[in-house]
């Protein structure tokens, strides 16, 4: 679940940093988080809310960490109660923070053993 949100964010950020106009823009088609799909029973009692937005296939640009801003290397993890992020340093001296789009309150509220058990899946 968390990987999809981070992948979406990484894919969207490439628009701002395309390095060369002559290079073709690589894209990937994906659903931001197909895990939010639900059947009619669930939708009837709990509502649809934003499920269509999370489960609809979209085309997003792919971010190449080797070429974006001269190349990025992971620096450290970060985040708050619900948002996971990863900080990068670029070869050009810039710092980048990539944040997950999909929030997960279990990240800090539950200890690791509980989070990785069936209780954490509820």
Measured distance CA(86)–CA(2) in Å, rounded: 12
The band of 21, judged by pLDDT with boundaries at 50, 70 and 90, is low
Q: Is 120 inside a domain boundary? A: no
Number of domains in the chain: 1
Q: What are the φ/ψ torsions at residue 60 (nearest 5 degrees)?
A: -130, 150
Q: What is the pLDDT of residues 33-78, one digit of tens each?
A: 888 888 888 878 888 887 888 889 999 999 999 999 999 999 998 8
CB 33 within 8 A of CB 12: no
Q: Is 31 inside a domain boundary? A: yes
Q: What is the pLDDT of residues 88-118, one digit of tens each?
A: 999 999 999 998 887 776 666 777 787 778 7
Measured distance CA(92)–CA(89) in Å, rounded: 8
Q: Is 122 inside a domain boundary? A: no
For tokens 């980048």, the residue is 96
Q: Is 36 inside a domain boundary? A: yes
Q: Is 27 inside a domain boundary? A: yes
Domain span at residue 20 reads: 2-115
The band of 15, judged by pLDDT with boundaries at 50, 70 and 90, is very low
Closest alpha carbon to 72 in 87, 61, 60:
87
């Amino acid at each position: 679940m968390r990987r999809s949100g981070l992948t979406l964010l990484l894919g969207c950020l490439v628009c701002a940093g395309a390095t060369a106009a002559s290079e073709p823009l690589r894209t990937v088609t994906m659903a931001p988080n197909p895990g939010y799909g639900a059947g009619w029973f669930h939708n009837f009692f709990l509502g649809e809310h934003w499920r269509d937005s999370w489960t609809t296939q979209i085309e997003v640009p792919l971010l190449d960490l080797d070429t974006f801003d001269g190349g990025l290397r992971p620096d450290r993890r970060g985040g708050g109660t619900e948002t996971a992020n990863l900080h990068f340093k670029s070869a050009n001296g810039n710092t980048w923070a990539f944040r997950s789009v999909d929030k997960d309150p279990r990240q800090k509220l539950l200890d690791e053993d509980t989070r990785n058990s069936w209780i954490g899946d509820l």
